[in-house]
Structure formats: structure tokens, C-alpha cells
Structure 1
């Protein structure tokens, strides 16, 4: 079973090594920029679908943290309706 950040023994007192984490964050930001660039090259429909999938997973995982399991199709439909995509 996954361990969530709030389950760690020292939550919420975070400590990190700036020299270790900086290159990792820089790499992530670089990949994020390339991904966003590729998404811009896609048509609106594909970009909207990618956004919908990401938002759906965010909602599902957030509710899972709270101990509530939601139906993926219902969440997806609700997000699409609220965004005006359907």
C-alpha cells in the first residue's frame, strides 16, 4: 500500500538537502517545458483530452487520500461538464 506524505513520522516538519534536490527540480521543470511545448503543437481536442485525464486522476487520487473512492466515469463527466467540454 502506498504511503502518503502525511503518514510520514516527521509530518509536517520537512527537511531537505538543497544541493541534492535542485538538479532534480531543474530536470523536472525542463521536461515539463518540453511536454507543454508538445501539447501546444497538438490540436485543441487532444490537449483538452489530456487536461481532462489529468484533472480526473487528480480528483480520484485526492479523494482516495481522504478514504473516499469515486467512480472514474462520473468524475470525468462532471469535470467535462463544468469545463464546458461536453
Structure 2
């Protein structure tokens, strides 16, 4: 039983680190995509305030996107797999 608790604690720590890293990376990729989209369209101009507003608006849309929500699977999938393995091992 102690082994299972230890696995759960260290697993949660590992999944939290993976979630944090994937979340930061995904947001960075989205920001880079928005910056390239702005820089690729010369009609948008060179106004830094407008560029920042465009990027922030795009990132607000990203916060509500499916891609951001799918990162939560970092917690769900390993937990389900471990529970299935524990169940199969006990039967």
C-alpha cells in the first residue's frame, strides 16, 4: 500500500511538471504563430501597440481553445493506465 501511495505522489509531481512544461511550450508556439502571422501581413503596419494587442487577443482565444484543454490529458491518461494495471494485477 505504501508503494502505491509513493507512486501516486511521485506520479502526480511528474505529471504536474509535464503539464507545466507542455502548457508553457504550447503557449509559446501559439504566440510565435501569432507573431509570424502579424509580421507576414504588411497591411497591418508597424504599430507596436497594435501588434501587442493583436497577439494578446489571439492568446485570449487560445486560452479557450481545445488544444489548451487537451493538455489536461497529461493527468488523465497516466492515471487511467495505472488504475487499469493495478486492477489487472490484483485480479
Normalising by structure 1, what TM-score? 0.36
* Relative contact order, higher structure (CA 8 A, sep 6+): 2
Q: Answer with 1 or 2: which has the greater Rg.
A: 2
Normalising by structure 2, what TM-score? 0.35
Q: Whose helix fraction is larger, Structure 1's or Structure 2's?
A: 2
